[in-house]
C-alpha cells in the first residue's frame, strides 16, 4: 500500500513538472503577455520648447523667424514693446495611447501673452493648454506670442538681461517632461551721466581763451 501511494505521489510530481515546463515554453514563444499580448505597453511624453530668432525682414515689413533652443546675449535681442515668438512641440513617444495630456507654459517676468491657445493665470503667470488624448507616435505643435513690457515697466538699472521661459507637459497615465528657452532683452539705461552745465568757472575759462586768441591775432597784425 505504501509503495502504491509513493508511486502515485511520484507520478503527480512528474506530471506537474511537465505542465510547468510546457507553460514556460509557451511563454517564451509568445512573450510575457502570451500569444496575443505582443510587446508590453510603454508611455512617454516629450516636449521641445523653442524661441523665434529674427532672421530676415521682407520688403513688406514681415519678419521671418528661425526657431532655436536658446538665444544668447550675442544673438538678436528684443526691445521694449517688441513681440517674442515661441513654438512648443509635444509628442507621444510611447506605443500606447495617452489620456488628458496637459501643457503648462510659465512666462517669465517682463513679458505678457498676446496670441496663443489656452488660458492665462496672471497670478502664477502660467498658460494652460488642454492637449487632450494622444495616440502612440502622435505629435502636436503650439505657437505662442508674448510682448515685452514697455520701457517704463522694465528694470531701470539693467540695459541687457536674459529671461528663461519654461514649459511642462504631463498626462493621466504617464509622467511629465519639461524644457526651457532663453531670450534676452536690451534697453537704454535710464539715469545716464548728464553733460555738466556751464558754470562760472567754465565761463571764465572761455573768456580767458577768447582773450588769449585775440592777443595772438593782434600780435600777428603788429608784426606785419
Task: Decide which of 90 and 10 is more confident.
Answer: 90
pTM of the model: 0.67
Q: Closest Cα to residue 116, out of 152, 144, 81, 158?
A: 144
Neighbours of 146 (CB within 10 A): 25
Looking at the predicted structure, is the pLDDT value of residue 178 above 60? yes
**What is the spatial order of strands in the sheet that 126-134 belongs to?**
119-121, 126-134, 98-106, 160-171, 174-186
* b/e burial code for range 9-32 (CB count within 10 A of at least 16 → b): eeeeeeeeeeeeeeeeeeeeeeee
DSSP code of residue 77: P
Task: Report the pLDDT averaged over residues 172-192.
Answer: 85
The backbone torsions φ and ψ at residue 166, rounded to the nearest 5 degrees and listed phi first, read -115, 135
pLDDT digits (tens, 9 = 90+) for 99-124: 999 999 999 999 999 999 999 999 99
Q: Quick one: what percent of the chain has pLDDT higher than 70?
A: 64
Amino acid at each position: 500500500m505504501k509503495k502504491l501511494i509513493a508511486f502515485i505521489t511520484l507520478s503527480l510530481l512528474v506530471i506537474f513538472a511537465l505542465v510547468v515546463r510546457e507553460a514556460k515554453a509557451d511563454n517564451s514563444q509568445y512573450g510575457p503577455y502570451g500569444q496575443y499580448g505582443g510587446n508590453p505597453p510603454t508611455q512617454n511624453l516629450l516636449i521641445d520648447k523653442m524661441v523665434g530668432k529674427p532672421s530676415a525682414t521682407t520688403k513688406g515689413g514681415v519678419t521671418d523667424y528661425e526657431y532655436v533652443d536658446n538665444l544668447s546675449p550675442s544673438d538678436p535681442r528684443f526691445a521694449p514693446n517688441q513681440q517674442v515668438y515661441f513654438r512648443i512641440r509635444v509628442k507621444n513617444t510611447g506605443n500606447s495611447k495617452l489620456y488628458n495630456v496637459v501643457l503648462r507654459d510659465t512666462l517669465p517676468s517682463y513679458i505678457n501673452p498676446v496670441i496663443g491657445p489656452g488660458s492665462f493665470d496672471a497670478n502664477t503667470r502660467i498658460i494652460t493648454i488642454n492637449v487632450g488624448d494622444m495616440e502612440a507616435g502622435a505629435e502636436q505643435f503650439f505657437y505662442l506670442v508674448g510682448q515685452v513690457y514697455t520701457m517704463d515697466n522694465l528694470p531701470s538699472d539693467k540695459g541687457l538681461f536674459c529671461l528663461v521661459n519654461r514649459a511642462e507637459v504631463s498626462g493621466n497615465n504617464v509622467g511629465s517632461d519639461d524644457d526651457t528657452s532663453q531670450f534676452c532683452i536690451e534697453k537704454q539705461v535710464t539715469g545716464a551721466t548728464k553733460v555738466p552745465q556751464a558754470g562760472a568757472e567754465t565761463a571764465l575759462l572761455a573768456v580767458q581763451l577768447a582773450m588769449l586768441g585775440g592777443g595772438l591775432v593782434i600780435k600777428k597784425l603788429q608784426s606785419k
